């Protein structure tokens, strides 16, 4: 008996030693990842809705708040769309209404030929049951960031007017935010600038061109910024076969909102806003460059163009500004696989 006990103890000790050496065993089971705290600021059109569906289905995301802005539709429509999605997705995050117009100049007409008359491809959006948060979008952003200092990723996939307004109200905001990921801009790596089925501006990208003054302020506010521009989003494409294979009720809703206006004549569509979500969660799938980015202001034909200079530029238009990161390459198949698998894993 003594020999048996001794051998048993030895085996257990040997197992503990191996676990310590290899970092395995019950005591070393991998902890689930800490969810990424996210504020989602969007001009709720079709691709914005698809990105919110992705965020809601990810177990590694803690969605703190949703804010709306004009852009793909008028502010009343983008806000209604956000509340509809809050109902549909069962979100607990508050939804706050944001800017109805740019900081300066007139409000560009919504691109109804892309996002439909209501922003969601003319899908019959029911009257939302969810209520709006009483705060403005900028105030909600400020309150949530101050409640979680150093922990919040702001995902901005629409005009940047809400963020610019929040910066004016709370100049300390850049020191409290973990990072800002923006779907916006075009830098000539893979996109030379043209009015297309998914971008209504002639040379600028829509989110930047829709409020260039706000964009320049936000990009150069001194917080960690990554731009996910058209250069990478147009290289990530969903076709009809991909859309048809998306599972469950989420797949059915996505097909319903994309089929009438968003899928182009070739039967495909670029993945704009969901690319920013993917970058925030899996940045290793992208290559980036670092530089100083400025936005051409005004309302002329060049308004909203994003221009990048290398770090250390002595050009007076760039020298006083810090650097940001710009995505220039993407593993597009990984983005598409991630989106579909997220919906499958959620089982909705």
Q: What are the pLDDT digits (tens) for 232-242?
A: 999 999 999 99
Is 272 one of the annotated active-site residues of the chain?
A: yes
State mean pLDDT over 279-300. 94
Q: How confident is the model at residue 14 (pLDDT cuts 50, 70, 90)?
A: low
Q: Evaluate if residue 24 carries a pLDDT over 60.
A: no
Quote the mean pLDDT of the chain.
Answer: 89
For the chain, the three-class secondary structure string (H helix, E strand, C coil) is CHHHHHHHHHHHHHHHHHHHHHCCCHHHCCCCCCCEEEEEEECCCHHHHHHHHHHHHCCCEEEEEEEECCCCCCHHHHHHHHHHHHHHHCCCCCEECCCCCCCCCCCCCCCHHHHCCCCCCCCCCCCCCCCCCCCCHHHHHHHHHHHCCCCEEEEECCCCHHHHHHHHHCCCHHHCCCEEEEECCCCCCCCCCCCECCECCCCCCHHHHCCHHHHHHHHCCCCCEEEECHHHHCCCEEEHHHHHHCCHHHHHHHHHHHCCCCCCCCCEEECCHHHHHHHHHCHHHEEEEEEEEEECCCCCCCCCCEEEECCCCCCCCCCCCCCEEEEEEECHHHHHHHHHHHHHHHCC
Q: Evaluate if residue 331 carries a pLDDT over 60.
A: yes
Q: Evaluate if residue 300 carries a pLDDT over 50.
A: yes
State mean pLDDT over 210-239. 96
Residue 327 vs residue 193, higher pLDDT: 327
pLDDT reported for residue 299: 81
State mean pLDDT over 158-169. 98
Q: How confident is the model at residue 257 (pLDDT cuts 50, 70, 90)?
A: very high
pLDDT reported for residue 170: 98
Q: Evaluate if residue 1 carries a pLDDT over 90.
A: no
State mean pLDDT over 309-331. 88
Q: What is the pLDDT of residues 40-85, one digit of tens each?
A: 999 999 999 999 999 999 999 999 999 999 999 999 999 999 999 9
Q: Does domain 35-346 have CATH number 3.30.499.10?
A: no
pLDDT reported for residue 199: 57
Residues 41, 47, 115, 272: which is the catalytic one?
Answer: 272
Q: Evaluate if residue 17 carries a pLDDT over 70.
A: no
Q: Evaluate if residue 4 carries a pLDDT over 70.
A: no
pLDDT reported for residue 347: 84
Q: Evaluate if residue 27 carries a pLDDT over 70.
A: no
């Amino acid at each position: 008996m003594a020999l048996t006990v001794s051998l048993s103890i030895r085996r257990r000790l040997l197992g503990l030693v191996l676990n310590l050496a290899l970092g395995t065993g019950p005591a070393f089971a991998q902890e689930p990842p800490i969810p990424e705290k996210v504020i989602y600021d969007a001009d709720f059109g079709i691709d914005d809705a698809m990105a919110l569906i992705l965020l809601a289905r990810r177990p590694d995301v803690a969605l703190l708040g949703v804010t709306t802005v004009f852009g793909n539709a008028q502010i009343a429509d983008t806000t209604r769309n956000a509340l509809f999605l809050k109902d549909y997705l069962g979100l607990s995050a508050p939804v706050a209404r944001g800017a109805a117009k740019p900081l300066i100049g007139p409000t560009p007409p919504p691109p109804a030929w892309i996002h439909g008359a209501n922003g969601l491809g003319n899908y019959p959006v029911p009257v939302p049951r969810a209520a709006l948060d009483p705060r403005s979008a900028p105030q909600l952003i400020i309150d949530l960031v101050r409640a979680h200092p150093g922990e919040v990723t702001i995902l901005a996939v629409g005009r940047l007017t809400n963020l610019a307004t929040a910066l004016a109200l709370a100049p300390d905001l850049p020191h409290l935010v973990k990072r800002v990921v923006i779907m916006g801009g075009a830098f000539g790596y893979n996109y030379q600038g043209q009015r297309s089925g998914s971008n209504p501006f002639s040379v600028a990208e829509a989110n930047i061109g829709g409020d260039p003054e706000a964009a320049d302020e936000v990009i150069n506010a001194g917080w960690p910024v990554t731009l996910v521009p058209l250069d990478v989003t147009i290289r990530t494409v969903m076709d009809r076969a991909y859309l048809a294979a998306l599972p469950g009720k989420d797949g059915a809703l996505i097909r319903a909102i994309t089929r009438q206006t968003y899928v182009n004549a070739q039967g495909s569509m670029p993945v704009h806003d969901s690319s920013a979500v993917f970058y925030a969660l899996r940045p290793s799938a992208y290559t980036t460059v670092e530089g100083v980015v400025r936005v051409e202001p005004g309302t002329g034909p060049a308004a909203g163009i994003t221009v990048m200079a290398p770090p250390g530029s002595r050009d007076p238009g760039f020298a006083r500004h810090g650097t940001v990161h710009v995505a220039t390459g993407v593993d597009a198949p990984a983005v598409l696989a991630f989106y579909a698998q997220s919906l499958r894993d959620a089982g909705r």
